[in-house]
Amino acid sequence: MEQNQTIISLKGITKTFSTRNGTVEALKGIDLDIKRGEIFGIIGLSGAGKSTLVRCINLLERPDGGSVVINDTDLMSLSASGLREKRREIGMIFQQFHLLMQKTALENVCFPMEIAKVPKADAKKRAEELLEMVGLADRMYSYPAQLSGGQKQRVAIARALAMSPQVLLCDEATSALDPNTTKGVLELLKEINRKMGITVIIITHEMKVIREICHRVAIISDGAIAELGKVEEVFRAPKTDAGRALVFHEGDSREGYDGPMERCYRIVFDESNSNEPLLGSMMIECGAPVNILAANTRSIEGKVYGQMLIQLPKDAALREKMIANLRAKDILVEEVDHV
Amino acid sequence: MFDSEMIALVAQAFGESIFMTVASSIMAYVIGLPMGFILVASEEGGIAPMPMVNKILGAVVNFFRSIPFLILLVAIMPFTQAIVGTVIGAKAATVVLVVAAAPFVARMVETSLKEVDRGVIEAAESMGATPFEIMRKVLLPEAMPSLLLGSSIVTTTILAYSAMAGFCGGGGLGAIAINYGYYRGDRVIMWVMVVLIVLIVAVLQSAGIYISKKKDKRL
């Protein structure tokens, strides 16, 4: 599989909604290239425009401007029937699953094939295989109401894969699930990406989902892409306020330190040096203490990263010495003016 | 009072009432069901937005829904005459019942279809379903329990209208209640008719609820 081939190319996507309180610019010119075979995360706080963006990829929401090119086809230029045809190459799953409540799991998975006029017997056979793959071989004749949230999402995944799509769009697919179930569903998505080579695009507001399975991530804020890059890079050194808000606002204990602070630094260390008492030895070597404001460790794609927010002494020379000491230990140090 | 002649008369009227109700209900659905679908599909943000169609159809439905049944019955007599060749009896009443009930059915169907989760429709769109496929394969089956419940309301309403049609020579149980109960002052016969009508309503209602529950896979 050619890893660097672009499968989806969004250029200058804009979308404005008119509401009772005036117009809302949901997307302000989004450019995004998604590579074949990758798991791409789009993260943002609610209202950032990420759900609108994912709907623009299969034109459930038609952008006001820009172009959506998938596999060299410009979706905006397609006729209604051409677009319907193309949509079969793009599977989609949703936060609320959106299964047909009056149909069994098996009938739900058969549904896209029924629409595509796949012969009934073939459709049933494929649906059975897919349900087996997602681990629901024994629930084929259950109705959605008889299934748990995780099981419903598995049915939805099987349904999305029925037409062998090249792309799978996941719109907050795990947001309605508990942490354990989320893990299982994410594992399944990872497996689908690895085994079938399907490009997966994940929309989420949870950093942990991105950390768990994404290769690259785009942080979207206020209708624009704030940051874009490999997950570990964006996590290690978020450059924008939006990025920092998402990366730091999760699970670390810094609530008491909100607001502007002086002489505040963020240090990030990885596996190679996380086992050593780096900060301790720095303090001994420099002969002065530092104030630790927050600390945590995370694992991104199997690698452990740790980060700390520290406040250094007032003495500028001493401060320089400490920073140099840490940098010499291969630790990323950056000044932050806002904790 | 209840001699064999009277019993035969009531039996015949009972049959007429059932005939009027069933025939009008079926015809009202033949006309009203597609109208309900068009109303839902054509509205703004619907699966096939057609604002003009939606407005016009909505206005027509509202117009016929606002006319009191007895006035409609008299007003469309020429139309009734043209369709069935008479303005009295169960057949003529059926025509009026259909005209009165079809817009009612359209609104009932519209309400039921709107209960279907927008997300499920979106999911079908994301699979490349056409608007017609969405109507037939998503909206109709997903709304079925609600549609069935609605149909029991529609049939009981039609039955009530048919009794009113009895006032104008419409036949059925309503006609007997009027002719014997009102004009001849025979309260017993009138109350017997009332009980019979209430019984039919009760049967239709519980049948609707039963079938709807049985069909619904959400529980």
CA torsion sign for A175, A178, A183, A189 is negative
Distances (CA, A) of B72 to B62, B68, B168: 14, 6, 12
Residue A1, pLDDT score: 46
Question: Which chain B residues are Cβ-neighbours of A60 within 8 angstroms?
Answer: 122, 125-126
Options 1.20.120.450, 3.30.70.260, 3.40.50.880, 3.30.70.250; CATH of A263-338:
3.30.70.260
Distance CA B128, CA B185 (A): 65
Give dist(CA A201, CA A90) in Å, integer.
Answer: 11
CATH number of this structure's domain A6-242: 3.40.50.300
Q: State how far residue B207 is from chain A, nearest Cα, in angstroms.
A: 20
Contact between A320 and A263 (Cβ < 8 Å): no
Closest CA to B18 of B136, B122, B159: B159
Asked if residue B205 has pLDDT above 70, the reply is yes
Nearest to B128 among A88, A98, A100 (CB): A88
A88 Cβ under 8 Å from any chain B Cβ: yes
Domains A6-242 and A263-338 share a fold: no
Average pLDDT over residues B69-97: 91
A102, B216: Cβ pair inside 8 Å?
A: yes
**Cα–Cα distances in angstroms (integers) from residue A301 to residues A136, A175, A215, B35, in the given order:** 27, 20, 8, 55
Nearest CA in chain B to A142: B217
Cross-chain Cβ contact B127/A88 below 8 Å: yes
CATH number, domain of B30, equals 1.10.3720.10
- Chain A residues touching B139 at Cβ < 8 A: none
Domain boundaries, chain A: 6-242, 263-338
User: Among B128, B215, B216, whose Cβ lies nearest the Cβ of A84?
Assistant: B128
Interface test with B, best of A79, A88, A95, A100 (most B CBs within 10 A): A100
**B22: CB partners within 8 A, 6+ apart:** B155
Using CA atoms, how far apart are residues B85 and B52, in angstroms rounded to an integer?
A: 36
List A residues 47-66 in contact with B (Cβ-Cβ < 8 A).
Answer: 58, 60
Residues A256 and A265: their CA atoms lie apart, in Å, by 16
Backbone angles phi, psi at A299, to 5 degrees: -115, 125
DSSP three-state, residue A263 = strand
Separation CA A253–CA A235 (nearest Å): 17
A94 touches chain B (CB under 8 A): yes
Instruction: Determine phi and psi for A101, rounding to 5 degrees.
Output: -70, -20
CB A254 within 8 A of CB A240: no
Question: Considering its fold, how many domains does chain B have in total?
Answer: 1
Q: Hey, of B115, B116, B127, which one would you mutate to test binding to chain A, going by the most A CBs within 10 A of its CB?
A: B127
**Which residues contact residue A175 at a Cβ distance below 8 angstroms, ignoring those fewer than 6 apart?**
A95, A204, A205, A206
Summarize pLDDT for B11-44 with one digit per residue, the tens.
999 999 999 999 999 999 999 999 999 999 999 9
B-chain residues near A111 (CB < 8 A): 124, 127, 137
Given an 8 Å threshold on Cβ–Cβ distance, is B128 in contact with A102?
Answer: no
Cβ-Cβ contacts under 8 Å, B130 against chain A: 81, 84
ipTM of the predicted structure? 0.87
Average pLDDT of span B166-187: 86
Q: Which of A81, A83, A87 sits opposite B127 (nearest CB)?
A: A87
Q: Note whether B49 contacts A: Cβ–Cβ < 8 A.
A: no
B13, amino acid identity: A
> Buried (b) or exposed (e) across A203-213, using 16+ Cβ within 10 A?
bbbbbbbbbbb
Shortest CA gap B143–chain A (Å):
9
Cβ B217–A145 below 8 Å, yes or no? yes
pLDDT for residue A301:
60
Q: Judge residue A108's burial from the number of C-beta atoms within 10 Å of its C-beta, 0-12 exposed, 13-18 middle, 19 or more buried.
A: buried
Weakly modelled stretches of chain A, pLDDT under 50? 1-2, 251-256
Query: Mean pLDDT across chain B, nearest whole number?
Result: 92
Position A55 scores a pLDDT of 94
Structural domain of residue B13, as residue ranges?
A: 4-215
How many DSSP H helices and E strands does chain A contain?
A: 12, 14
- Inform me whether the C-beta atom of residue A272 falls under 8 Å from chain B C-beta atoms: no
**Angle between helix B89-114 and helix B51-66 axes, rounded to 10 deg:** 130
- So what's the pLDDT on residue A254? 45
- φ, ψ of residue A171 to 5 degrees: the values are -95, 100
Could you give the CA distance from residue A94 to residue A203 in angstroms, rounded to a whole number?
10
Q: In what order do the strands lie in the sheet with A90-94?
A: A90-94, A167-171, A199-204, A39-43, A216-221, A224-230
Interface touch B133/A100, C-beta < 8 Å: no
DSSP H helical segments within chain A, as ranges? 50-57, 80-87, 105-115, 120-133, 149-161, 179-196, 207-213, 231-236, 241-248, 271-274, 278-286, 316-328
Residues A204 and A211: beta-carbon distance below 8 Å: no
